[in-house]
Structure 1
Amino acid sequence: MNNTFLIVAVVVVVWAVLFAVMMTMNKKRQVKANEFKNENVNKAIVHLYGNNLKIDGNDISQFNVIIGENLEKVVAVEGGKHSIEGVFETTTLGATGKNISIKTEKLQFEVELQSGNSYVVGIYDYSPEDRERYIKEYGNMGEDILVMPLSLCKESEHASCCLVVSRNK
């Protein structure tokens, strides 16, 4: 009985300490994200889900970049037409219940971004037609400005997917 009580007590204490540490880290991340948003209110804020990212031919590290809540790269750019390139990636649940990483080859596209708005650039594991059906059924939290169909995504069970640039409402 004493050993069981001791083990439970140690687990509870370790959990409480880790919980407090994680809450503190999350609060700091939220404060940093809010500061970033307030400092860049007159710019377009872009959330990018990928690697080897470039905007207008410049490596993303040359911009003021922060890491977002979902580990995306968040950058603020002036409004206007921009060229974005990179390897975009996401994860999906496979038929066996295992997470599958989906990534594209290097993509490059141009998009018009408006100052004062927030954008998300990422890939989805379904076709543009499936995305339209989903939006009709469940609604959309933003406006799609670019939907680029992709086929046979690397390491994917899916025959098609799409890159989407959407403006948040």
Structure 2
Amino acid sequence: MSKLDGNERWKSKMLLTEHVEGYTERHTTETPTTRAKAVPSSEELTMIRDDIMLPFMMTMVQKSVDDIERSTNVLRRLYAQAGRAILDQISADHFVIRRDLKQRNIRVIPYETDSAAAVINYEYYCRGYRGEFGMIREHLRSQIAMRLAKYTADLGAVMKGGQ
């Protein structure tokens, strides 16, 4: 900070463009290392993917639980309870991911696209860096199926351990 910063008398004085450019170059905080710190790491991109995927999973599981509760199946209470346990785990994981993204100063915002589009687009802001993240619906479905299988296996392991 120079002696003239904050001095109101010098605001109206005329400056040459090369002086302004030199001043901004000397006082710019962005360097190649800070630029590299702004770009998200692969771990952060995975967190962004999970932040996009988990709400879709929650919707699917909730719809399935609602369908099970309306069915006439003899074991509907058991199935609904298992579905709610999986839904609780998904919700807890989503909460942790949202908290971690907030701590790392990353925001994820959906694009306004039509619901029939093959690609779901999101934009994210990572410490001042703006990026785009798109997922193909088929890839999203396969990721959801794999993650849902993991949650189901975890619930099965808890049930077996409780015997």
**TM-score, length-normalised on structure 1?**
0.26
Greater share of residues in strand: 1
Greater share of residues in helix: 2
Q: Considering only CA atoms, is the larger Rg found in Structure 1 or Structure 2? A: 2
**TM-score, length-normalised on structure 2?**
0.27
